[in-house]
Amino acid sequence: MAQENVEAPIPGKVISIECKVGDTVQEGDVICYIESMKMENPIVAPVAGKITELKATEGEVVETGGLLAIIEY
């Protein structure tokens, strides 16, 4: 099994998390939304697989490259 880290492409505040550990996701499914510069930015799964870890928490401020989730595929 390979692992894929889902990282924040931009700094901002995690405003909602759309999946939970154990969920099976398709490529393009929304993992969470990051609010940055007054815009909601969907962060999507780069690959299809299973969410094994969720690092992001709602309300948390993340920097670019901050780990949000890990997908096993």
Partner 1 sequence: MFNKILIANRGEIAFRAVRECKEMGIRSVAIYSDADADALFVKHADEKYPLGDPAPLSSYLNMEKIIDIAKKSGAEAIYPGYGFLAENPKFVELCEQNGIEFIGPPSDSMNRAKPKHRARKLMKDNGVPTAPGTDDAIESVSDTAAIKAVTEVADSIGYPVIVKPSGGGGGIGMRVAKDKSELEGAMKYAESRGSSSFGIAAFYLERYFTRAKHIEFQVLADKMGNVVYVGERECSVQRRYQKLIEEAPSMIMTPELRKRMGEDSIKVAKALKYVNALTVEYIYSVDTGEYFFNECNTRLQVEHPVTELLTGFNMIKEQIRIAAGEKLSFTQDDIQPRGWAIECRINAEDPFKGFVPSPAKITDYQPPGGFGVRIDSGVYAGYTVPFQYDPLMLKLLSWGNNREEAIACMQRALGEFIIEGVHTSIPFHKVALDDEVFRGGNYTTNFVEEREIVKKLMQSRSQATG
Q: Are 33 and 15 in contact (CB under 8 A)?
A: yes
Which one of residues 4, 7, 10, 30 is an interface residue with partner 1 (CB under 8 A)?
Answer: 10
Strand ranges across the sheet with 3-7: 3-7, 67-72, 49-54, 24-25
Interface stretch with partner 1, choices 20-28, 30-38, 47-55, 65-73 (CB under 8 A): 30-38
| Shortest Å distance, C-beta 50 to partner 1 | 27
| Shortest Å distance, C-beta 63 to partner 1 | 9
For residue 16, state whether it binds partner 1 (rule: CB under 8 A). no
User: Of all residues in the chain, what percent are helix, strand and coil, respectively (each to 5)?
Assistant: 0, 55, 45
